[in-house]
Amino acid sequence: MYELQYSKPSSVNDAVAEVKNSSDAKFLAGGMTMIPTLKARLSSADLLVDLKGSNLSNISVSSSEVVVGSMTRHCDVASSNDIKGSLPALAKLAGGIGDHMVRSCGTIGGSLANNDPAACYPSAVLALDATVVTNERSILAADFFEGMFETALNEDEIITEIKFPIPEKASYIKFPNPASRYAMVGVFMVKKTDEISVAVTGAGENGVFRCKEIEDVLNSNFSLDALDNIQISDDNLTSDIHASAAYRANLIKEMAKKGLKDLI
Ligand X SMILES: Cc1cc2nc3c(=O)[nH]c(=O)nc-3n(C[C@H](O)[C@H](O)[C@H](O)COP(=O)(O)OP(=O)(O)OC[C@H]3O[C@@H](n4cnc5c(N)ncnc54)[C@H](O)[C@@H]3O)c2cc1C
Name the DSSP class of 258: H
Give the interface segment with other proteins, choosing from 76-84, 154-162, 179-187, 214-222 (CB under 8 A): 179-187
If you count them, how many residues does the chain have? Answer: 264
| Nearest approach, Cβ of residue 194 and ligand X (Å) | 29
Among 23, 40, 63, 229, binds other proteins (CB under 8 A): 40
Candidates 123, 131, 150, 128; CA nearest to 208 is 123
**Residue 99 belongs to what H/E stretch?**
none
Rg, C-alpha atoms of the chain: 18
Residues 32-51 contacting ligand X, CB under 6 A: 32-34, 51
- Contact between 158 and ligand X by CB under 6 A: the answer reads yes
- Contact between 57 and ligand X by CB under 6 A: the answer reads no
- Contact between 194 and other proteins by CB under 8 A: the answer reads no
- Contact between 107 and ligand X by CB under 6 A: the answer reads yes
Beta carbons within 10 angstroms of residue 165's beta carbon = 14
- Contact between 131 and ligand X by CB under 6 A: the answer reads no
Size of the site for ligand X (CB under 6 A): 31
E strand map for the chain: 5-7, 25-28, 47-50, 59-61, 65-69, 131-134, 138-140, 159-165, 169-176, 183-191, 196-201, 209-210
- Contact between 225 and other proteins by CB under 8 A: the answer reads no
Contact letters for other proteins, residues 129-168 (x by CB under 8 A):
----------------------------------------
Give whichever of 179 and 241 is closer to ligand X, judged by the CB atom: 179
Among 9, 19, 25, 26, binds ligand X (CB under 6 A): 26
- Contact between 79 and other proteins by CB under 8 A: the answer reads no
Candidates 62, 69, 78, 66; CA nearest to 120 is 78
Cα three-residue angle 92-228-90, rounded to 5 degrees = 10
What span, in angstroms and rounded, lies between the C-alpha atoms of 133 and 23? 25
- Contact between 229 and other proteins by CB under 8 A: the answer reads no
Give the interface segment with other proteins, choosing from 51-59, 107-115, 127-135, 240-248 (CB under 8 A): 240-248
| Nearest approach, Cβ of residue 172 and other proteins (Å) | 17
What span, in angstroms and rounded, lies between the C-alpha atoms of 193 and 104? 34
